[in-house]
Structure 1
Amino acid sequence: MRRQLELPRLDDAIAECERLLNSGYTQSGNWTLAQICRHLRLTIESNLEGYPVWMTTLGYPLRPLLRWLMLPKLLSGNSPSGIRTAGMFVPPDDLDDAVEVERLKQSVARFMESTLPLHPHPGFGAMSHEEFNRFHAAHAAHHLSFLQPQTKE
């Protein structure tokens, strides 16, 4: 079961990852915290460094439709579940939570410090740095909503 989770900015996503790392969590989706962090890091790094040509070429014809239909849903926290991602963004099973949270923190810091133009998303196109910050935070909220923090009793 998913929980409601709103993360307006990437800093909020990092805080949530650290909270889950410290409290422990119950997994209700397919991925662990480490796998989610790896997936998020790979998408942020593609935004910084560029997506594969095949991905931008395939996404181009659908971009206006995806931007109009799907982007508002993602940003509002109503992202659909079960949509398969490209193989390059699927994390392996044998990852360490603490290591991947730290790597995601480093990637987010790099994103936040970057003044270079960001590469357009294959499905949603070009956005400002601030729009991409909100996009990546909403993407993180979607995935992290499948992890339930453990409460100490």
Structure 2
Amino acid sequence: MRRQLQLERLPDAIAECERLLRTGYTQSGNWTLAQICRHLRLTIESNMKGYPVWMTTLGYPLRPILRHFMLPRLLTGNSPSGIRTAGMFVPPDDLDDAVELERLKECVTRFVESTLPLHAHPGFGNMTHEEFNRFHAAHAAHHLSFLHPQTADAG
């Protein structure tokens, strides 16, 4: 069971990850916080450095359909579950939450501070930096919605 979670920008995703690390969490999905952080970092880095050619080539014909039907769902928090990701984005099992969160934070800082052009998403195409920021935040919200804080958090 997923929880309702909306994140507007990547720094909001970092704050949510920090909260989950601080309070502890229970999983209702397949991945730990560390695995989610690794997955998010790999996807953001691909957006900054470029995706593999095979991924861009395979996604190109479907872009108009995915952009019209799937992207709005993702951005409004109605992302479908169970869609497999490319193997290069699947994290291993033996990761440390704190270490992977720190690596994600460094990646998000680079993303937010970057003025370089971003690479088109294989399935959704080109977006502005701000649109990609919202896209990555929505992607993070999707994955983090499977983690439930264990304790009340005053901060």
Aligned to 2:65: 65
Aligned to 2:38: 38
Aligned to 1:108: 108
Q: Which secondary structure state, in structure 1, belongs to the residue aligned with residue 148 of structure 2?
A: strand
The normalised TM-score by structure 2 is: 0.98
Q: Point out where structure 1 has 5 or more consecutive residues left out of the alignment.
A: none
CA RMSD between the two structures? 0.9
Q: Distance in 2 between matches of 1:127 and 1:36?
A: 23
Aligned residues between the structures: 153
Q: Which secondary structure state, in structure 1, belongs to the residue aligned with residue 48 of structure 2?
A: helix
Q: Distance in 2 between matches of 1:114 and 1:148?
A: 32
1:122-137 counterparts in 2 under 5 A? 122-137=122-137
- Whichever residue aligns with residue 99 of structure 1, its letter is V
The normalised TM-score by structure 1 is: 0.99
Q: Distance in 2 between matches of 1:79 and 1:2?
A: 11
Q: Which secondary structure state, in structure 1, belongs to the residue aligned with residue 88 of structure 2?
A: helix
1:14-25 counterparts in 2 under 5 A? 14-25=14-25
1:151 Cα deviation after fit: 1.2
Q: Point out where structure 2 has 5 or more consecutive residues left out of the alignment.
A: none
- Whichever residue aligns with residue 30 of structure 1, its letter is N
Aligned to 1:11: 11
CA deviation vs aligned residue, 1:43-93 (integer Å, no higher than 9, x gap): 000000000000000000000000000000000000000000000000000
Q: Which secondary structure state, in structure 2, belongs to the residue aligned with residue 119 of structure 1?
A: coil
Q: Distance in 2 between matches of 1:152 and 1:107?
A: 28
Which segments of structure 1 move beyond 3 Å, counting only runs of 4 or more?
Answer: none
The sequence identity of aligned pairs, in percent, is: 85
